[in-house]
Chains A and B, each alone.
Chain A
């Protein structure tokens, strides 16, 4: 295993049996790694399996096959997971798309943010230190101290997402997995949250698996991007390399379809179309250059 990789996913498969005859291959044999302090963007359209990747890494499903390595431990192995549970849970945090569902409506903002730290035995019997930490976290995500006693129902979508972010950085994790954290927010609020992510990441230096369907958002934030379709990673490259020099026809089609706020360009551009049913599911991710991988089928 690569020494600098903090999270490594090897041949991850996550199948869901629907009926006797039908098994949905939500994630089908994908591998990637995230280095310390890296922001990895995973993009794909709805149904491509990107959220399932996040949930599988967090251990919310029993893997069909494959391995997940975190800081040198094979956490997909239940035995290894159990013996390192506290350490893993402290260092891996997740942010969900729907903040209304992710926050307990009957807990105050203070208790929501405190909960993971209590679970990790931080600030035991030291209420003042805990409160000081919570005030600091609220300040870092741009919320006033007065929010401590509020309930999620009293907050707007952007504010709730800020609380979810404060909760996730409280335990000072090594990696944060964010599953479409800004998809349900307004444009101006999206920009606020993206800038917040960028600042926090620079300050704390956590690695970040950022899942989105919006390519422009991923380009803004990520160092490395993976493009998913039908449970496969079709192309993976360093961000600028992928956007300047897309190789897979699906990536090209996806890039051409992203609307840009520039009428002259928009009216003249040619949109490429790709028929996803043409994708051959046999093949593997091949390294084409030091920073560029593409899914190739055997000829």
Chain B
């Protein structure tokens, strides 16, 4: 499996009248072919901004401060707007959270899909239509031919999201950025959507960067998981490593805050306080003030990434050899007994 998308030392800031907001801070990760990497975190932690900035969809006051993103070995951070337009949809495409605002309400679904196809491929209307019908079937819309000329408001939320997915897949991109694609959907519809993403990955070998705040959804879909807090990736590893052997107190907090359906005696461990505002972030670890395991050094110096296994990294001083030994809370072990 080769690396298809690599993000190196990526930092991004917004220049605002109040000052500089450091939305993404020194992020490193790579996405392999056919892999699903999930990025989890609370709202405002920078996960959506990261996705949008890879596609250069952010407003003008956003500025990449350092680092680069490489798609198939090419540094796309330096690309001009013209080259980005050739890239978007064709190599890398995105599904947004709200299917209602993604689709144009006045244009029939079929036309919105063929538009995306003909943007990148020089083919006739008829061929594009045939391809669009195939796509609609791929994403599981029955009677696609009958529904081809219907406007989005004829469709339910789940079906709209399927149409959005069809548009995103129109030109066979190598990478799909899925930004909370199931958050606006009901649980039963969400389950179908996740199965669909898994089956599309199997059939097309597309790599997916899956952004979510729901650890349950992530457990179902992701091969690897990156936990993001205040613009930084604080822990990254395979799904099993993150869910059963996490090392960062923030990951423990997120896991403990989920009221698990499978747990009989529900005790909820909330994380005190709120995520920080990234306008002039404090020195040291931004999570320290909410972290009951915080050490004195956390308030002075931000922890580096410690390696736990070839695939598992976490940024917490607790992993330093000099740190006191702390047993992770019990709820980070397997949450459901067989």
Contact = CB atoms under 8 A, between A and B. Distances in A.
Contacts of A190: 257
Nearest to A271: B191
A200 to B, nearest CB: 15
Interface stretch (B80-88, B111-119, B162-170, B267-275): B267-275
Contacts of A220: 259, 266, 268
B187 interface: yes
Contacts of B257: 187-188, 190-191
B240 interface: yes
A187 B217 CA distance: 13
Q: Is the interface of A mostly helix, strand, loop or mixed?
A: helix
B219 A187 contact: no
B153 interface: no
Interface size range on A against B: 35 or more
Interface string A218-240: 01100000000000000000001
Contacts of A262: 219, 243, 260, 262, 334-336
A263 B243 contact: yes
Contact of A265 (B222, B254, B266, B336): B336
A257 B191 contact: yes
Nearest to A267: B220
Interface stretch (A69-77, A171-179, A209-217, A279-287): A209-217
Nearest to B240: A263
B213 interface: yes
Interface string B28-46: 0000000000000011000
B18 interface: no
A45 interface: yes
B240 A213 contact: no
A273 B192 CA distance: 9
A191 B191 contact: no
Given A263-B219, A271-B195, A255 B42 contact: no
Given A191-B270, A264-B240, A257 B188 contact: yes
Contact of A260 (B188, B192, B270, B335): B335
Contact of A219 (B192, B261, B271, B334): B261
Interface string B268-308: 11111011000000000000000000000000000000000
A143 to B, nearest CB: 12
Interface string A231-256: 00000000010010000000001111
Interface in A190-209: 190-192, 194-195
Contacts of B219: 259-263, 265-266
A191 B269 contact: yes
B214 A259 contact: yes
A158 interface: yes
A274 interface: yes
A271 B187 CA distance: 11
Contacts of A195: 268, 270
Interface in B201-247: 213-220, 222, 239-240, 243
A254 B192 CA distance: 12
A266 B222 CA distance: 11
A92 to B, nearest CB: 27
A265 B157 CA distance: 28
Nearest to B217: A259
A187 B213 contact: yes
Contacts of A243: 261
B255 interface: yes
Nearest to A156: B274
B258 A186 contact: no
Interface of A: 45-46, 156, 158, 186-192, 194-195, 213-217, 219-220, 240, 243, 253-267, 271, 273-274
18 contacts: A191-B269, A191-B270, A192-B270, A195-B268, A214-B259, A257-B191, A258-B187, A258-B216, A259-B190, A259-B214, A261-B219, A262-B219, A262-B243, A262-B335, A263-B220, A263-B222, A264-B240, A265-B262
